[in-house]
Structure 1
Amino acid sequence: MVADWVRCAGCAGLVYGKRFTRCAHVCPDCGRHGPLTARQRLDQLLDPGTAEPLQAVRTVEDPLRFTDTRPYPDRLAEARAATGLEEAVVCVRGRIEDRPVVVAAMDFRFLGGSLGCAVGELITEAARTSLRHRVPLLLVTASGGARMQEGVLSLLQMAKTAQALAALDAAGVLTVSLVTDPTYGGVAASFATLTDVIIAEPGARLGFAGPRVIEQTTRQRLPEGFQTAEFLLENGMVDTIVPRPGLRSALGRLLGLGRPAPSPGSGADPAGADPAGADPAGEPLRPGAADVLLRNPEELAERDPWEAVRLARHPGRPTAADHIGHLLDDFLPLHGDRLAGDCPAVIGGPGRLNGTPVMVIGTHKGGPTLAERQAHSFGMATPSGYRKAGRLMRLAAKLGLPVITLVDTPGAHPGTDAERGGQALAIAENLRLMSGLPVPIVAVVTGEGGSGGALALAVADRVLISEGGVYSVISPEGCAAILWKSPEAAPAAAEALRMDPRELLRLGVVDGVVAEPPDGAHSDHAKAAALLGDALTAVLGELVPWDPDRLRQERVRRFQRIGVATGSAGAAVATPAADRSGADRSGADPHDGDAGADDGRGA
């Protein structure tokens, strides 16, 4: 029965009960998300009439014969009578926006949503069902932690559920967490944070130790908003925050990106590409990259090298966000490295390119104003940015999604915090990861491709460059300062570095050049994106039919050939365009190149 009036626990305002119900228990005045029961959560998320309960599993009820102020069986009986539930989680099969899914929804009313043997087994059974039917698993979490009345047996449920999610990882089945308030302790430290994508409701709290325990232990007052969804997003722990009214739509888009289960007797390999070359959605990719890419250096007009650099840096050029906005449908931006932070210079997430599910990752310089560019560190990624990119690439590999990277950066971030965070290692790990990724990778240098910071997103099956882009081991200013001993020699350095598309194509560093509008990409973002989209679609059409072994082998061969001398005269057929020493030359100014040893050897 709905109360006539409900007092919001956030703003203390009174809300008409029926209105509060229509708003899914979200206060219309302050936006506070009130608690939902497991049944209410399922009703909100699932398509009507699609919920099918999973078969109940039997577990030990009172393994320790535990009694505190009351016997544990009495507490269980009281919780069952109060909630109408057998346990603190309800598991069903159903559909969200007609996408099949297995859902395990926790209910905080049942002994604080605590994790005991029964909850652990139910979560594990939900994962087994997801694996058996090869449909995504959605975990809706609300818990105070492990159930003390079941002692160490409750603790071991953390390992049991983690193993169940590991099996889904190995099988390439999408897993998603929806974190609701609160999610603490053993649940937070196991299945809630082990999923591919973590979505949080606004204000939801997530952590291992609760704030009261932390304050009592450390005797320090916690900062405002500590452990809330907003705090977690800023610190790279969750992918996105979605208000309750938008959850069904966001989840529907996300569930549609998972690899579909093969039909019985189809013979399709669920871990590999479709042998016919169709995309994962079943729509054929358009062939003919030769028609939309410039592959002959003579097709490109000669351009003054320094003017090419200036064009690549034009503040009006479309950013990664601009291209994504024009090219992708159903794009869901994902955030954070799940370790330390969310670098604003790297953006990415899944979406659809002409109906084809893809993972897009880009270095993002920000908008045309100085303030916007400063907010995104001029596209210079920190270690958390490269680790975020690596996480999204691993997710793409799990789901069988082609990877597209959009590179526009002066170089990796050169600050002390970046070095302290392991900048060189973060770049090196991406080079190794991309070399062995089992899905197609297409990298496009859309503006500046600077040093190891660019290469960390450009170990690809096909490396393209926009007609107005440049790609080099170091900025012309940095090269001039080191070798010419004068920054005024930057134009001469630009010519010597052979960093424009015509020379890069001639050297074999790039596989093709993406045409731009006659006055440059900055003059017409929509047209520039359309040309880029045609090139990407065509190149993916070439690569998607390749099996993972061929992709990896050809990718390695592509880079092994660069710089190798051939022929009787021993002439080098190509030279590397990116720094393989690990030194980054970006400097405090994105273009001054002030870094490293100035011993005349360059990068």
Structure 2
Amino acid sequence: MTAAAPSSETLWSRCGGCAALLYRKRLRRNLDVCPECGLHARLAAPERVDQLVDPGSFRALPDHVVEVDPIGFVDALPYPHRLAAARTDTGLSEAVLCGTATVGGSPCALAVMDFRFLGGSLGCAVGELITCTAEQALTAGVALVLVTASGGARMQEGALSLMQMATVSQAMAALREVGLLTISVLTDPTYGGVAASFATSADLVLAESGARMGFAGPRVIRQVTGRDIPAGFQTAEFLLRHGQVDMVVPRHALRARLATLLAAVASPTTIRSGVTAPPPDAARPGRPLRSPARDAWETVRLARHPGRPTTLDYLETTFDGFTELHGDRLGGDCPAVVGGMAQLAGRHVMVIGHQKGHTTAELAARNFGMATPAGHRKALRLMRLAARLGLPVVTLVDTPGADPGFEAEEHGQAAAIAENILTLSMLPTPVVAVVTGEGGSGGALALAVADRVLMLQHAVYSVISPEGCAAILWPGRAAAPQAARALRLTAPDLCRLGIVDEVVPEPAGSAADDTEATGRAVRHALLTNLLPLMEVPAVTLVQRRRQRFRRFGAARAAAPAGAR
């Protein structure tokens, strides 16, 4: 579908997508992306390296690999003849170009595949080169970036080429074990054994606009199923919708996006702000806000106000930058959960939050902030990634509850929530949760098993909605205001119970009246609570978190309200 980029001597080029005749110099200035239809032409590995890394920073790794013809394969030509022809045509010794470089000043090890060389196929030499690059990343303690373009494993090397999937994956596992970031950039096409191993097992998977990726290619699918391929199938945009990639990035933005992601783990940073560690009494749980209490039902209505700031609003007002990551890698990308890397006063953190919306259309598109199993699993993936990279986790809770629909049950909603709670119970990195609006049942707790739990002044947090409680224990939903008072779901109530550690003040009226001021208050509270946690060893952190929730046992629950 996508033609290889023409040689530099060609004055004119015809686009393989819209057939427009393009002046070659103009096309090159546009990074070989058609200015008429946006088609991304395939790039040779050296061209790709030039576009991605800082000028003059690339240092190629030795590529003196042993000649490989393990099974004496011959089709129309002997395999060695095909290798010789590919080397002559591309100027490369193999289908991958490996080295070290910097991107936006951040060091990394880099392996870039070249589809011109026998379809970018994964053979023993390619596997060895990529494995050596991963080992170089491990030795240097830097991130690994893989740019894939491949039809799959190299048939001419038989089962030995299949083994390269495991060889490279093991090298990546070693990086994961020590907390070094791996990033895969999918380009067109990425299929077969490459897609089913290192291309999709990286910590972060980016797809260049228009790239196609899958295990089985279109020809194989048609042969096996006898069906036509639907439009847009296996494209980058298709993969994003189905939770397979973190983001789709146009070619002109790839370097900047990689630079942002690499900067998050390139070197440790410290929080910079005027906030100092809180005094000992401020670090104890149960610090209420001294302000006139509102009626519980009125607070419920304020917590649900459509003008109340959402997670995306806080990412604009509370944090200094945000790169959204998508997908659970299992088939879905729930819009009710937003997550990704952000900065907070110079420190990179992982932010995960429920997302509602302000209009009816936004609320419907975000499923009213009710996470599906895919949303909980996306959050789980990002929590685990944060732990591997040593990033603190900040969660923003605002949901009426988890999605209660048929499809959610079919996809294991209960198990997804349970796995999040279990993982947060042993996550070896600081976790601060902020209940910003509604904290509804297990859907809220799936993001709120934290070292410190903060709550906005007019937020609510409860085992069930007042309406649900009234329908079960009262004559009907009309008793919701009475149920709200009985549930003790306001921030002052929960502070007295020790469930919430601190109440974050809201502007006069409520958070809906001043998003900017609310964002600043949340920022201050996060910095105040996160600073002490950064100094706690991981083992101690987990022990204290478990002790925090252990105190909600039967003995405490049985104590009279006045004794708590």
- TM-score w.r.t. structure 2 length? 0.96
Partner of 2:442: 452
Amino acid at match of 1:462: R
Q: Contact conserved, 1:346 with 1:361, CA < 8 A, in 2?
A: yes
1:236 positional shift: 0.2
Does residue 1:338 correspond to 2:345, yes or no? no
Greater Cα shift, 148-157 or 8-17: 8-17
Which amino acid in 1 is paired with 2:342?
G
User: What's the counterpart of residue 200 of structure 2?
Assistant: 193
Deviation by residue 1:417-457 (Cα, 9 ceiling, x = unmatched): 00000000000000000000000000000000000000000
Which residue among 418, 428, 432 is the counterpart of 2:422? 432
Residue 66 in structure 1 maps to residue 73 in structure 2: yes
Alignment of 1:219-368 (within 5 A): 219-258=226-265, 260=267, 280-284=268-272, 286-289=275-278, 296-297=287-288, 299-366=290-357, 368=358
Aligned length: 554
SS in 1 for 2:524: helix
Tell me the secondary structure at the aligned position of residue 186 of structure 2.
strand
Q: Which amino acid aligns with 2:269?
A: A
* Corresponding position of 2:455: 465
Q: Counterparts of 1:38-437 in structure 2 under 5 Å?
A: 38-258=45-265, 260=267, 280-284=268-272, 286-289=275-278, 296-297=287-288, 299-366=290-357, 368-437=358-427
In the alignment, what sits opposite 2:39? Answer: 32
CA distance in 2, matches of 1:345, 1:317: 16
Structure 2 unaligned residues grouped into runs of 5+: 1-7
Shift of 1:6: 1.2
For residues 559 and 449 of structure 2, what CA distance do their matches in structure 1 show? 26
Residues 1:361 and 1:33: Cα distance change in structure 2 (over 3 Å): same
Note the C-alpha offset of 1:565.
Answer: 1.8
Over the aligned positions, Cα root-mean-square deviation in angstroms equals 1.8
Q: What's 2:479 paired with?
A: 489
Q: CA deviation at 1:336?
A: 0.2
Q: Is the 8 A contact 1:300 1:502 kept in 2?
A: no
How big is the shift at 1:351? 1.4
Counterpart amino acid of residue 135 in structure 2: R
Q: Using the alignment, how far apart are the partners of 1:60 and 1:300 within structure 2?
A: 77
Task: Please say which of residues 293-302 and 386-395 is displaced more in the overlay.
Answer: 293-302
Aligned equivalents of 1:64 and 1:205: distance in 2? 31
Q: Is the 8 A contact 1:108 1:143 kept in 2?
A: yes
Name the CA distance, whole Å, in 2 between partners of 1:59 and 1:219: 41
Identify if the C-alpha distance between structure 1 residues 2 and 531 changes in structure 2 by more than 3 Å, giving closer, same or farther: farther
1:165 is displaced (CA, Å) by 0.7
Amino acid at match of 2:187: T
Are the counterparts in 1 of residues 11 and 23 from structure 2 also a CA contact under 8 Å?
yes
CA contact (8 A) 2:319 2:523 kept: no
Runs of 4+ in 1 over 6 A off after TM superposition: 290-294, 572-575
Contact 1:565–1:572, Cα closer than 8 Å, also in 2 = no
CA shift for structure 1 position 57: 4.6
Deviation, 1:300, is 3.2
Which residue among 560, 563, 577 is the counterpart of 2:550? 560
Q: Tell me the alpha carbon deviations over residues 63-96 of structure 1, each in whole angstroms, 9 at most, x when there is no partner.
A: 1111111110000000000000000000010101
Aligned equivalents of 1:79 and 1:30: distance in 2?
31
| CA drift at 1:572 | 7.4
Contact 1:173 1:259 in 2 (8 A): no
Gaps of 5+ in 1: 261-279, 576-603
| 251 and 573 in structure 1: CA distance in 2 versus 1, 3 angstrom threshold | farther
CA distance in 2, matches of 1:561, 1:223: 55
Q: 1:536 aligns with which of 526, 529, 539?
A: 526
- Classify 1:36/1:224 alpha carbon distance in 2 versus 1 (closer, same or farther; 3 Å): same
Alignment partners' CA distance in 2, 1:112 and 1:462: 52
Residue 485 of structure 1, CA deviation: 2.8
SS in 2 for 1:123: helix
Match of 2:493?
503
Within 2, Cα distance between the matches of 1:77 and 1:133? 34
Question: Is the Cα contact below 8 Å between 1:57 and 1:122 reproduced in 2?
Answer: no
What's the counterpart of residue 3 of structure 2?
none
Shift of 1:141: 0.1
The reply to whether residue 474 of structure 1 matches residue 481 of structure 2 is: no
Deviations for 1:529-561, whole angstroms, at most 9, x for unmatched residues? 011001101111010000100110000000000
Q: Aligned partners of 2:498 and 2:284: how far apart in 1? A: 15
SS at match of 1:437: coil
The CA distance in 2 between the partners of 1:217 and 1:383, in whole Å, is: 31
Separation in 2, partners of 1:388, 1:474: 24
Given that 2:288 and 2:502 are in contact with CA atoms closer than 8 Å, whether structure 1 keeps it comes out as no
* Structure-1 separation of matches of 2:284 and 2:255: 39
Instruction: Work out whether residues 478 and 487 of structure 1, in 8 Å CA contact, stay in contact via their aligned partners in 2.
Output: yes
Give yes or no for contact 2:377–2:416 (8 Å, CA) kept in 1.
yes
Q: Percent identity?
A: 57
Partner residue of 1:591? Answer: none
Of 5, 13, 16, which aligns to 1:9?
16
Offset from partner CA, 1:492-529 (integer Å, 9 cap, x none) = 00000000011010111100011111121111111100
Displacement of 1:56 in angstroms is 2.2
Counterpart residue number, 1:597:
none
Alignment-mate amino acid for residue 232 of structure 1: L
TM-score (norm 1): 0.90
- C-alpha distance in 2 between matches for 1:540 and 1:115: 45
SS of structure 2 residue aligned to 1:193: coil
Name the residue aligned to 1:266.
none
Opposite residue 363 of structure 2, the aligned amino acid is: R
Counterpart residue type for residue 300 of structure 1 = S
Paired residues of 1:407 and 1:444 also in contact (CA < 8 A): yes
Aligned amino acid, residue 496 of structure 1: A
Structure 1 contact 94–101 (Cα < 8 Å) conserved: yes
Partners in 2 of 1:365 and 1:557 — Cα distance? 32
**Mapped contact 2:97–2:113 kept (Cα < 8 A):** yes
Question: Structure 2 CA distance, aligned partners of 1:405 and 1:372?
Answer: 21
Question: For residues 566 and 155 of structure 1, do their structure 2 counterparts lie closer, same or farther at Cα, with a shift above 3 Å needed?
Answer: closer
Provide, for residues 14-52 of structure 1, a one-character-per-residue CA deviation record: whole Å limited to 9, x for no partner: 111101001110011111111110000000011111111
Question: 3-state SS of the aligned residue for 1:401?
Answer: coil
